[in-house]
Structure 1
């Protein structure tokens, strides 16, 4: 098991939990007789810690399986610390947790450790599952959308934007109506970038309407992030 066994040897997890449970049971024995609810409240943190430990071991096992043992190296705590902390708050079987696991795998892989930038863990923590799906698709191609800009009477401000055509398969998203918001967020994170080609007014359209072809593509930084974190294939039912 390599580095995973070393963790187990250096941290006597079973003894720690046995000691915690033994001391806690003795201390709350009398309370439990009088108040079952109070006993549950007091013992709940121990159950929580045990559950978190089991969950972490599952994550580490999957990370270990991703990297051949002869390529495993010690990871920098600046990278692993935030990831371990973030894994507490995501579902174990989810696309976001898999992205964290992939980043951990890069961090301990002697051949790919250079791909594991410390900023990537903070970016994953800000993503929704839908945004991860979007990045997965933008890894391989760019997408266009045909927009109708409706200007205010002063012709300076835009009152609204109508999406007339969208190449991206928004039906794959859990919340397709949030697609524009997702793009804005991913552009803010410098993972995607957009180019707008605003044409003249279409024949027969009101003078305050202008057509725009908006092309969205992944940035160089986004490619590096996707290479390190996004799975080669995703299971849409696991999102």
Structure 2
């Protein structure tokens, strides 16, 4: 255990720890190599490739910021609970950090994941696939997930349909519409896409075979301005009506483990 504490101490107490070493190995050779390359190519091509130099520099900054966040968060872990992070989690996480230098939300997820993998009480919640999942999230996805974690689960969701009576077909006007989350983000199409991405990744489940109890929780949809506007737009048109399909959004067990590992401060 003394060996483990020594390794973890390098991460927490010194800027030359495990994360910083990975940062040096990953970022600095790239910057040096790129600098040499730019000196050998024609000026126009050098300008084009120069954009990648900015990416390398920003990537270094992203790794440094995350290392600082890990250091700060790890201070809350009792010393006897500290353990060396598994390399199959830590190394790919550090590698991916250079791609999210402009997103504090995504950096926070990586930092939380790394800290969870360093705590004996939480590391069993950490799956190697969490690194790849964060890679597929947008900053909006991270905000939606944080909001879902704060809200009472499950969350009511509806899909609003325009039904064509003669053809017995329908057109979906609002898909996976959640007032609880819409009030926070204010764009139905972007929010719907974000929810569907989280569902695709197995973090949440959007389902219409169950509803939230009590049923009165859906009453707010009938009074919602977005819904009323759609009803008014098609009112009086023959052979059509608007219906509201009720469903719910809930975190999966896998999603709960993800939130425990990546969304807990």
Same fold (TM over 0.5): yes
Cα distance in 2, alignment partners of residues 12 and 87 from structure 1: 10
Q: CA RMSD in A?
A: 4.1
User: What SS class does the counterpart of residue 89 from structure 1 fall into?
Assistant: helix
Q: CA deviation at 1:54?
A: 4.5
Q: What is the distance in 2 between the residues matched to 1:230 and 1:175?
A: 23
Shift of 1:120: 0.9
2:208 aligns with one of 196, 201, 206: 196
**Is this contact kept in 2: 1:143–1:167, CA < 8 A?**
no
Q: Provide Cα deviations, 1:27-73, integer angstroms capped at 9, x if missing partner.
A: 96xx8xxx988888899877765654444233112212212372332
* d(CA) in 1 for partners of 2:176, 2:129: 36
* Correspondence 1:64 to 2:71: yes
Structure 2 residue 147 is matched with structure 1 residue 134: no
Q: CA deviation at 1:160?
A: 2.4
Residue 101 of structure 1, CA deviation: 0.7
Q: Which one of the candidate residues 231, 242, 246 is aligned to 1:213?
A: 246
1:95–1:132 Cα contact (<8 Å) kept: yes
Within the alignment, does 1:119 sit opposite 2:119 as a pair?
no
* Count of matched residue positions in the alignment of Structure 1 and Structure 2: 217
Q: CA deviation at 1:130?
A: 1.7
CA contact (8 A) 2:60 2:98 kept: no
* Residue deviations 1:187-208 (CA, integer Å, cap 9, x gap): 111212223269xxxxx99566
1:224 to 2:236 alignment: no
CA pair 165-59 structure 1, distance change in 2 beyond 3 A: closer
> Deviations 1:96-145 (Å, cap 9, x if unpaired)?
11001100111122221112111111111111222222222222423223
**Aligned counterpart for 1:110 among listed residues 120, 144, 148:** 120
Structure 1, unpaired ranges of 5+: 199-203, 233-239
Instruction: Say whether residues 1:84 and 2:94 are aligned partners.
Output: yes
SS in 2 for 1:111: coil
Residue matched to 1:235: none
Provide the rounded CA distance (Å) in 2 between the counterparts of 1:207 and 1:43: 58
Q: Which residue of 2 aligns with 1:237?
A: none
Is residue 167 of structure 2 the alignment partner of residue 154 of structure 1? Answer: yes
2:22–2:94 CA contact under 8 A, matched in 1: no
Q: CA–CA distance in 2 between the matches of 1:161 and 1:187?
A: 20
The counterpart of 2:18, out of the listed 1, 7, 30, is 7
Partner in structure 2 of residue 201 of structure 1:
none
Task: Provide the TM-score with structure 2 as the length reference.
Answer: 0.64
Which stretch of structure 1 is more off in the superposition, 57-66 or 163-172?
163-172
